[in-house]
């Protein structure tokens, strides 16, 4: 055997860089389902099922393409517990001259596979992943010599470099960013009866087999599988993309920050898992959105806002990840030490906003950005949960969670654990923010504008407690000082009440 091409669960593209020069006569493909990838964090059932089902469908695509495949199934008797152990075992029998690997999505996996190859005395060629606009080296060049990193500058560079939404050297529509026109909440009548629902991909026989396996083997893992309908093949992912561009992108911008109970998808793309598994390329997603804007079917504010998430944020967080790992994962700038409340794994809480976001997360493996940032993330930040535990939770529960994207979003953007590298300030707010974005406070036993007393909203109590705890650190912070100055109107007796109420909230 000349080359053995290693394909991981988030590298499911026949055109991946590791396949360049592939010869069915001399080369073969290796894929393995191993328990560790579902247990190193307590992965939810939907997340495990998405990865395994998509892998098994990709195995079929490889066979149809005539590429010889060595595939290890989790339900076989002779599997090893980790990717590295499985690879070592298979190298002993397959004896390839060389291993080919596209850069994985996880620093830990890269180290483990490189070590396994070295131990077996087989050389490994690491190829850059073409499923991104930029490489980690591009990002390092962008970051070099800059005091602070901000997505907005990076994003503008990306627009110019890849000529996206540009008219000559000017941004289309005369501005780089149209957020002032976005971020509305729904009126009291909600998102409307004609809210377009994303396509539902009924599990086929391959997927049903995986769902059974997950129910059996990972029975004690969080989450449910009875509403499982994710796109798992390239054809399904393309169908999901088309449906989004035509039906939901036109209103993506205005409602991207809105929350409505019982409506998980709203006008969001629901494409992150397909993108992260590499069933879609970001280039084709951005091109489809840009074409829709240019044709006049989609307003620029929605199209630009969506493209910024992919061409800007998605690339930016990956750059942070690969240029800062492994130390990045250890960040805890605010020295948060509390344990994650156990109800994050069940949704059993009286707080209506958290209950809604958590139940939906466990049911679908999905929550949209504002639910992740300003409901589950905000609560953990204000409560003072140890960032490592917050990270493990996010990596476990979402079907789109791969460490390169999950870690900077959680540790950096949401928990400020990197001290301000990703986000220019901690995203903190009282319950009033949630009451502006959703009707949830109306059905909650708490009141978002009360910070002490029996009906005080825990977000609001913990917000004031956060400011008290971090007053000295943020008193002169350019973007937070105004919020800290609000403490001037809180006398000592009220401060003591806030602290006592916050402490009581933290008693498990
Ligand atoms: P839409 O809201 O429709 O956005 C379109 C696309 O833009 C997404 O599919 C995604 O590919 C990209 N995107 C949007 N925001 C971001 C962002 N901040 N970083 C990177 N890409 C972005 N995204 C993941 O893909 N995996 C994760 O594990 C993940 N963890 C997160 C954890 C936290 C605490 C936060 C605040 C955000 C996280 N995100 C993560 C980013 C974002 O919330 C999801 O990408 C998005 O909710 C996916 O749903 P969608 O496809 O409907 O996205
Ligand atoms: Fe959430 Fe507070 Fe509103 Fe209840 S009152 S839904 S806890 S923000």
CB of 285 within 8 A of CB of 271? yes
Q: How many CB atoms lie within 10 A of CB 243?
A: 18
Structure tokens of 469?
A: 């705890």
CA quadruple 281, 206, 208, 45: dihedral, nearest 10: -50
What's the pLDDT at 336?
98
**Residue 277 Cα to chain centre, angstroms:** 12
Q: Is the ipTM of this complex over 0.85?
A: yes
The whole-number pLDDT of residue 191 equals 87
Query: What residues does each domain of the chain span?
Result: 3-127, 136-202+220-324, 342-505
Pick the CATH number of 3-127 from 1.10.760.10, 3.40.50.620, 3.30.428.10, 3.40.50.2300: 3.40.50.620
Q: How far is the CA of 57 from the centre of ligand 2 (A)?
A: 42
Adjacent-strand bridge partners of 102: 127
**What local confidence, expressed as pLDDT, does residue 194 receive?**
83
Give me 162's structure tokens: 């890849």
State the average pLDDT for the chain. 96
Looking from the CA of residue 430, the nearest atom of ligand 2 is 8
Ligand 1 pocket member 317 (CB < 6 A) = yes
For residue range 121-172, list pLDDT tens digits in order.
999 999 999 999 999 999 999 999 887 778 999 999 999 999 999 999 999 9
State yes or no: pLDDT of 277 exceeds 80: yes
Q: Are 366 and 272 in contact (CB under 8 A)?
A: no
Ligand 2 pocket residue status of 351, Cβ below 6 Å: yes
Question: Using CA atoms in the order 118, 124, 130, 133, what is the torsion angle rounded to 10 degrees?
Answer: 50
Question: What does DSSP assign to residue 166?
Answer: E
Rg (alpha carbons) of the chain, rounded to whole number: 23
Query: Domain 342-505 maps to which CATH number in 1.10.579.10, 1.20.900.10, 1.20.140.10, 1.10.3720.10?
Result: 1.10.579.10
State the residue for tokens 């929550």.
367
Testing ligand 1's pocket by substitution, the residue of 272, 361, 402, 428 carrying the most ligand atoms inside 8 A of its CB is 272
**How much distance in Å is there from the Cα of 267 to the middle of ligand 1?**
14
Q: What are phi and psi of 79, to 5 degrees?
A: -85, 155
Confidence at residue 508, expressed as pLDDT on a 0 to 100 scale:
81
Q: How many Å is the maximal CA-CA distance in the chain? A: 79
Domain 136-202+220-324: CATH class, spelled out = mainly alpha
Question: Quick one: pLDDT at residue 188?
Answer: 84
The tokens of 161 are what? 């470099």
CA pair distance 470, 464, nearest whole angstrom: 10
Closest ligand to C-alpha of residue 198 is 1
- Please state the atom number of ligand 2 nearest to the C-alpha of residue 435: 3
Please list the residues that pair with 100 across neighbouring strands.
5, 125
**Residue with CA at minimum distance from ligand 1 atom 22:** 314
Which atom from ligand 2 is nearest to the alpha carbon of 432?
Answer: 8
End-to-end CA distance of the chain: 57
CA dihedral (192, 193, 195, 198) in degrees, to 10, reads 160
Report d(CA 411, CA 388) in Å as an integer: 8
Work out the percent of the chain whose per-residue pLDDT is above 90.
Answer: 93
pLDDT-derived band at 193 (thresholds 50, 70, 90) equals confident
What's the confidence (pLDDT) of residue 283?
98
What's the average model confidence in pLDDT over 35-61? 97
């Amino acid at each position: 055997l000349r080359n053995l091409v290693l394909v991981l669960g988030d590298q499911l593209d026949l055109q991946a860089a590791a396949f360049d020069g592939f010869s069915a006569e001399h080369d073969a493909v290796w894929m393995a389902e191993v328990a560790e990838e579902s247990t190193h964090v307590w992965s939810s059932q939907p997340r495990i099922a998405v990865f395994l089902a998509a892998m098994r469908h990709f195995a079929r695509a490889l066979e149809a393409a005539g590429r010889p495949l060595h595939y290890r199934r989790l339900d076989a008797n002779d599997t090893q517990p980790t990717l590295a152990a499985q690879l070592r075992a298979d190298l002993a029998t397959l004896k390839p001259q060389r291993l080919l690997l596209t850069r994985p999505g996880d620093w830990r996996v890269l180290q483990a596979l490189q070590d396994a190859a070295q131990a077996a005395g087989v050389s490994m060629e690491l190829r850059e992943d073409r499923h991104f606009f930029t490489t980690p080296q591009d990002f390092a060049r962008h970051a070099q010599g800059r005091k602070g990193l901000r997505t907005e500058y990076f994003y503008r560079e990306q627009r110019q470099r890849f000529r996206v939404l540009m008219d000559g050297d000017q941004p289309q529509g005369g501005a780089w960013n149209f957020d002032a026109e976005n971020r509305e909440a729904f009126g009291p009548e909600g998102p409307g009866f004609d809210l377009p629902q994303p396509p539902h991909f009924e599990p086929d026989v391959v997927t049903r087999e995986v769902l059974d396996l997950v129910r059996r083997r990972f029975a004690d893992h969080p989450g449910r599988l009875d509403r499982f309908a994710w796109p798992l093949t390239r054809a399904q992912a393309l169908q999901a993309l088309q449906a989004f561009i035509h039906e939901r992108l036109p209103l993506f911008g205005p409602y991207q920050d809105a929350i409505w109970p019982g409506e998980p998808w709203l006008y969001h793309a629901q494409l992150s898992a397909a993108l992260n598994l590499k069933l879609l390329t970001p280039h084709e997603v951005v091109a489809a959105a840009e074409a829709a804007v240019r044709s006049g079917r989609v307003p620029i504010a929605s199209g630009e806002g969506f493209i910024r998430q992919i061409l800007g944020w998605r690339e930016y967080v990956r750059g942070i990840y690969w240029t800062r790992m492994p130390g990045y994962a250890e960040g805890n700038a605010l020295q948060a030490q509390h344990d994650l409340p156990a109800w994050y794994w069940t949704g059993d809480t009286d707080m209506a906003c958290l209950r809604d976001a958590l139940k939906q997360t466990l049911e679908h493996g999905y929550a949209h950005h504002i639910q992740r940032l300003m409901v589950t993330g905000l609560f953990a930040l204000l409560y003072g949960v140890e960032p490592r535990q917050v990270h493990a939770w996010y990596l476990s529960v979402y079907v789109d969670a791969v460490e390169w994207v999950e870690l900077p979003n959680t540790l950096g953007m949401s928990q400020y654990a990197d001290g301000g590298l990703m986000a220019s300030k901690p995203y903190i707010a009282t319950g009033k923010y949630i009451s502006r974005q959703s009707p949830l406070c109306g059905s909650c036993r708490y009141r978002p504008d009360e910070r002490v007393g029996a009906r005080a909203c825990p977000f609001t109590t913990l917000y004031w407690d956060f400011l008290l705890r971090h007053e000295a650190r943020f008193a002169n912070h350019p973007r937070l000082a105004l919020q800290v100055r609000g403490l001037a109107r809180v006398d000592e007796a009220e401060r003591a009440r806030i602290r006592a109420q916050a402490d009581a909230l933290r008693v498990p």
